[in-house]
Amino acid sequence: MSSRARLIVFLVGALGLATVFALGFCDLPPMGDYRGPYGYVVTQVAVFERHATDVVNAINYDYRAFDTLGEEFILFASILGVLLIFRPSQNSEKKESYDPGQEDLPASDALHVTTQGIMGIMIVFGVYLTTHGQLTPGGGFQGGVVLASTPILVYLAGDIEAFQGITSSALVKFSECGGAAGYAILGLAATVFGAHFLTNVVPLGTTGDLFSSGTIAIISVCVGIEVAGGFVQLIRVYLREIVGAQLKEQE
């Protein structure tokens, strides 16, 4: 296709988009306008019904827990896909030694010191986000990601052996599978008590307590464990060959 024809196709498309966009803008409701009763109802009843002060997580992990279960398994399946694509190759290519080519910049002392200082804070913050999902903004997903990014800090701090130890431990694999399975098992456990799948059957406790809101807190922790394990696995497979070569170099 010549550049002239391409330009014509683009102009027609852009004109159409601009028209539809302008029409859409004309009928836009004012900022903050909300139509539909569901949001108002759920913000009114969530704290009383579920003893969870963070209504967003009450929706995610209770009222709409089935949707979140689906999302968890989307994440699970996509991480599985990456692991499958990056599985160690059978041929001899992997035996070739690592050659950084152009010299890598040496990590600065400031980087070593900062990463070591931040690590503890990040682990505590990640655990806090995961366990307080029912009380404050956050929850398992965010906390899991924060926890999963700490091994990268170990790597940046220059302790490659520790990075290898953390990321290749069986606990990481188990936490990914265990977290995802825990969510599903918790849902099935409700059916044992004669309730629907993923019904909140655990005692709700006192509003505002750490151990309150029943399954919401437990699901949040399950999700946190799964997400942390999954993302650490992702980081591991990306860096596996490079870290392996660096370890060989150190010997």
Residue 202 tokens, joined: 């655990």
Cα(143)–Cα(39) distance, integer angstroms: 25
| Residue 242 in contact with another protein, rule: CB under 8 A | yes
What is the nearest approach in angstroms of another protein to the Cβ of residue 207?
18
Total site size for another protein, rule CB under 8 A: 27
40/191 with CB nearer another protein: 40
| Residue 93 in contact with another protein, rule: CB under 8 A | yes
Confirm if 200 and 215 have CB atoms less than 8 A apart.
yes
What is the nearest approach in angstroms of another protein to the Cβ of residue 101?
5
SS (H, E, C) 147-180: HHCHHHHHHHCCCHHHHHHHHCCHHHHHHHHHHH
| Residue 140 in contact with another protein, rule: CB under 8 A | no
Confirm if 172 and 236 have CB atoms less than 8 A apart.
yes
**Half-sphere exposure at residue 80, Cβ-oriented, CA atoms within 13 angstroms:** 10
In the region spanning residues 172 to 201, those forming contacts with another protein, defined by CB under 8 A, are: none
Q: Which residues contact 1 (CB under 8 A, 6 or more apart)?
A: 9
Cα(150)–Cα(164) distance, integer angstroms: 13
| Residue 127 in contact with another protein, rule: CB under 8 A | no
58/190 with CB nearer another protein: 58
CA R_g for the chain: 24
| Residue 99 in contact with another protein, rule: CB under 8 A | yes
Residue 14 tokens, joined: 């852009």
Query: Which residue of 39, 137, 203, 208 would you call a contact of another protein, by CB under 8 A?
Result: 137
What is the nearest approach in angstroms of another protein to the Cβ of residue 141?
6
Q: Which residues contact 234 (CB under 8 A, 6 or more apart)?
A: 79, 82
Stretch that binds another protein, among 108-116, 144-152, 164-172, 218-226 (CB under 8 A): 144-152
What is the nearest approach in angstroms of another protein to the Cβ of residue 231?
7
What is the nearest approach in angstroms of another protein to the Cβ of residue 157?
16
73/197 with CB nearer another protein: 73
Cα(187)–Cα(12) distance, integer angstroms: 51
Query: Which residue of 61, 76, 141, 183 would you call a contact of another protein, by CB under 8 A?
Result: 141
Footprint of another protein on this chain (CB under 8 A)? 54, 56-57, 93, 96, 98-101, 129, 137-139, 141-142, 145-146, 148-149, 152, 231, 234-235, 238-239, 241-242
